[in-house]
Structure 1
């Protein structure tokens, strides 16, 4: 009889006082694999480069517009 799989792994090197304990999050494999596939598709290759470029341009214009509006109200003549 084998113990059930858990997200905790413990390993010890012989002849040393070094111990390692790692805890992995346990989730349903179907949900995790679909999110992993989606993130790999959107963050790598030509599509990933295009997404990063579009995100950078959108962030630039958002900061630019917020700065423009803020500057308008700060330096508005009374």
Structure 2
């Protein structure tokens, strides 16, 4: 069984009227090491530029097709 890595810790100071609440959420080491490497590889360099260009072109065509279909039905002769 794994230990619980996230939680809320509450402590009240006796000498002061301030309360301290700290929240910690830690992910597993596997997730923490994989995500930066993956984002570094996909978002920078030549591959990153290619991904951004392909994403922009795909977004353009999706918006174009939605606009075309919407315009067709809006301006359709009865």
> TM-score, normalised on structure 1?
0.67
TM-score by length of structure 2 reads 0.67
Give the direction of change, closer, same or farther, for the CA distance of 1:45–1:23 in structure 2 (3 Å limit): farther
Relative contact order higher in (CA < 8 Å, ≥ 6 apart):
2
What are structure 1's unaligned runs of at least 5 residues? 1-5, 7-21
In structure 2, stretches of 5+ residues that fail to align are 1-5, 7-21
| Cα RMSD after superposing both structures | 2.4
Runs of 4+ with >3 A deviation: 22-25
